[in-house]
Amino acid sequence: MRREKIVPFVSAAAGTRTEPKSRLAMKLSSTLRMEAIGLALVAGYVDGYALRVFGIYVSFMSGNTTVTGVNAGQGNFPLALPSALSIAGFLSGSFAGNWVVHSGIWYSRRLLFFAAAALLACFVILNLPTFRHANLSLPLLSLAMGMINPAVSCVGREPVSLTFVTGTLNKIGDHLALSVRHAPLPNAKGTWDTHFYRAVLEASVWTGFLTGAVLSGVLSHRLGVVEVVPAAIALIAFALIVRAPGVIPQS
């Protein structure tokens, strides 16, 4: 009789532990997904501004690498300098952002958002007067973009990129191909976590970046350097509302 009572008790306990854990993982993934989309929108917006006004990227370093290489190869080093400095700024920001995220400080992402907002504000202040070599201040923007990229490096168990989208598009294609083939997802966090879900997740981050660039185009030539201010305000808002860590432990 005892064994008959114990068996259903253990089964029920196991069920109540597993299901809430899956629901919690889904909720955390959804929260981080919205945050990643918002941050990608900010990155696309700032990148669009820099490209439109200066012809230089501040988050898309593949493009800057090509521009730097072509200009250097033609011996036009003054034209290669701004894009090279932008690369250096992004790399420095990425180093600083990853160092802070892995420092163990609970509110590390909050610090990164405040720091990135401060850098954007410095860029605006520096360029309020007519600045003859304004493009040389672009490393401030690329430094900020490099810092926010490590802030949300994973949504659930899916690595995401906030400030550059070539890898994102590649992962969309990969997940869609595996979804069509009905391939299992080895590190799924629940029945809802499939290759198709991951493809939609990556697509939503890409759409966020695209939307930011569109907004930058809509505001073109209307606000001048002040156009960067909404991005700084958005980062401050993220810093004030952020709660969950950027990287969910891989359990």
Digit-coded pLDDT (tens) for 197-216: 999 999 999 999 999 999 99
Q: Which residue has the tokens 């002040």?
A: 226
Angstrom distance (rounded) from CA 174 to CA 195: 9
Polymer length of the chain: 251
Mean pLDDT (whole number) for 10-31: 55
Q: How many domains does the chain have?
A: 1
More confident residue, 17 or 191: 191
In this prediction the pTM is 0.82
Name the pLDDT band for 51 (thresholds 50, 70, 90).
very high
Please check the confidence at residue 223 and state whether its pLDDT lies above 90: no
Angstrom distance (rounded) from CA 108 to CA 99: 10
Name the pLDDT band for 71 (thresholds 50, 70, 90).
very high
pLDDT for 167? 87
Instruction: Please give the mean pLDDT across all residues of the chain.
Output: 84
Calculate helix-pair angle for 139-148, 77-101, nearest 10 degrees. Answer: 30
- Mean pLDDT lowest among 9-18, 60-69, 155-164, 196-205: 9-18
Angstrom distance (rounded) from CA 228 to CA 129: 15
To the nearest whole percent, how much of the chain has pLDDT over 70?
A: 83
Whole-angstrom Cα Rg for the chain: 22
> What is the domain range of residue 212?
29-241
Please check the confidence at residue 10 and state whether its pLDDT lies above 90: no
To the nearest whole percent, how much of the chain has pLDDT over 90?
A: 52
More confident residue, 73 or 193: 73
- Mean pLDDT lowest among 71-80, 83-92, 129-138: 129-138
Name the pLDDT band for 246 (thresholds 50, 70, 90).
very low
- With respect to residue 171, please indicate whether it lies within any of the assigned structural domains: yes
Q: How many CB atoms lie within 10 A of CB 85?
A: 19
Mean pLDDT (whole number) for 62-85: 92
- With respect to residue 227, please indicate whether it lies within any of the assigned structural domains: yes
pLDDT tens string 129-186: 766 666 678 899 999 999 998 988 888 888 888 888 888 999 999 999 999 999 998 8
81: left (phi over 0), alpha (psi -120 to 50) or beta: alpha
List the helix and strand counts (H, then E) for the chain: 8, 2
Strand 158-159 relative to strand 154-155, pairing = antiparallel
CATH code: domain of residue 188 = 1.20.1250
Of 183, 179, 211, 218, nearest to 198 by C-alpha is 179
pLDDT for 11? 38
- With respect to residue 228, please indicate whether it lies within any of the assigned structural domains: yes
Please check the confidence at residue 217 and state whether its pLDDT lies above 60: yes
